[in-house]
Amino acid sequence: MLRPAPTLLSAWAATLAAAPDAVALIEAPADRAHTRAQLDALADAFAGALPSEVARLRVTFALPNGPAWFAAFLGLLRAGATPVPLDPAEPSASQLRLAAAARASFAWIEGKLVPVPEAPARSPGRHALVKLTSGSTGTPRALAFTHTQMLADGRQVCASMDIRPEDRNLAVIPFGHSYGLGNLVVPLLVQGTSLVCVDTPLPHALAAAISRHRATVFPAVPALLRVLAEADLAPDALSPLRVVISAGSPLPAATAQAFHARFGLKAHGFYGSSETGGIAFDREGDDTLAGTSVGTALDGVSITPLRGQRVRVRGAAVLRAAGHIPADRARLEPDGRLVLLGRAGRLHKIGGRRLDLGELENALRALPDVADAFVAPHPDDPEQLAAVLATTLEASALRALLRAHLAPWKIPRRLVPLPAFPLTARGKPDATALRALLAR
């Protein structure tokens, strides 16, 4: 007789049975700990309050990191529904629109199950969850993943990054993001790696949570590492940390170096996508420190070079069996290291000359005192460029710097200097907000 395939729920059941009284999640602001048994009871209560018709249907929810998120996620799975986690900052007014884009039948909004107008009668198949991502297009896309794929991603992440059952994961990035699912949610479900949840990215709050609750693993984004490196924190403020991970957008070498110089900790670059989960990881951290690559393929992942500076990713966690070609241009070195070269399809003509906007952004990020860069065609003149730069330099000093390093035709006509980029709830640069700044 064939044994049923493992699921997120069966993995959680085994983790729960092994140590029901072990701490699973800590709410750092309230200094409140929740055991595995307590989280499971919350999930049971959530599932018990759902009507039977949610079975085999998709249900969206937008909740911040914490016990309520796990109650909804596990509760929906237990009721036979397919969870669709949304960004926790998503306003209620837009949640129904996103639910429709995800082909969900219900949305959990402000403690109520709200029917989605013109929803499908049945979900298109039973899945572990649906990731809703805008990718590079700005149009929401629903990506449905199986339990097998989600379990594979979490296990590959843990094996490649050496995330252990006894570790404590600092939970700053949203649980429902692909990064959070693979690095925070699944490690708790499959091996009991506990979570320390913080509700603010302010550096002193992060340092206090790391110190008080002995967090050992920190899945971060570049903006968090930058503000920590610049904050007035003691060199040993982050001493409990064992592994620091940076993903979501390229980590400038200058930020990695400043963070290392301040705290003696290397940031390990991590590259992935919603369609694949984790792809590559810098296990030693040296390439991230030098700004040369994002490391090598995760355990269980294969990366194949293609023409046109593209790669194909295959593995048990990838959405399609044929593999996925990420939107980034990349070069695979003979030793297996993956070098990112910018987004594909961002060629722009300036005076008859082709310019890759991604390459120009990389060149700008490499300049001294420039932490990040966003380049687009000028909103009033497509023969010119406009750019937002994360820098402390004033406009005159910035233009002098650009003249010293770039050909005149590559220098953006409109420059918007900012101390730091606006970020989405997922910790990525907010492209919509950046474009709006250039349009002013």
Q: What is the pLDDT of residue 24?
A: 98
- Provide the pLDDT for residue 137: 45
**From-to residues of CATH 3.40.50.980 in the chain:** 8-147
Give the pairing type, strands 141-145 and 129-133.
antiparallel
- For the chain, give every residue range classified as CATH 3.30.300.30: 347-439
CATH topology of domain 347-439: GMP Synthetase; Chain A, domain 3 (3.30.300)
Tens of each residue's pLDDT in the chain, 440 residues: 557 789 999 999 999 999 999 999 999 999 999 999 999 999 999 999 999 999 999 999 999 999 999 999 999 999 999 999 998 888 887 899 899 999 999 999 999 999 998 877 665 567 999 998 864 445 678 999 999 999 999 999 999 999 999 999 999 999 999 999 999 999 999 999 999 999 988 999 999 999 999 999 999 998 899 999 999 999 999 999 999 999 988 898 999 999 999 999 999 999 999 999 999 999 999 999 999 999 999 999 999 999 989 999 999 999 999 999 998 889 999 999 999 987 776 777 776 667 778 878 888 988 898 988 999 988 888 778 999 999 999 888 999 999 888 878 889 999 999 998 988 766 678 888 999 999 87
Q: What does R_g of the chain's alpha carbons equal in angstroms? A: 22
Give which of 47, 69, 50 is closest to 114, Cα–Cα.
50
The architecture (CATH level 2) of 8-147 comes to: 3-Layer(aba) Sandwich (3.40)
User: Strands 23-27, 370-377: parallel, antiparallel or unpaired by DSSP?
Assistant: unpaired
Half-sphere exposure of residue 245: CA atoms within 13 angstroms, side-chain side: 31
Count CB neighbours of 364 within 10 A.
Answer: 23
* Total-model pTM: 0.83
Instruction: Give the length of the chain.
Output: 440
In this structure, are residues 96 and 117 in contact, taking their beta carbons and an 8 Å threshold? yes
From-to residues of CATH 3.40.50.12780 in the chain: 200-343
Q: What separation in angstroms does the CA of 314 have from each of 134, 168, 299, 310, 343? A: 22, 30, 11, 14, 20
CATH of 200-343, one of 3.40.50.12780, 3.20.20.140, 3.40.50.920, 3.40.50.150: 3.40.50.12780
Instruction: Give the distance from CA 144 to its chain's centroid.
Output: 17
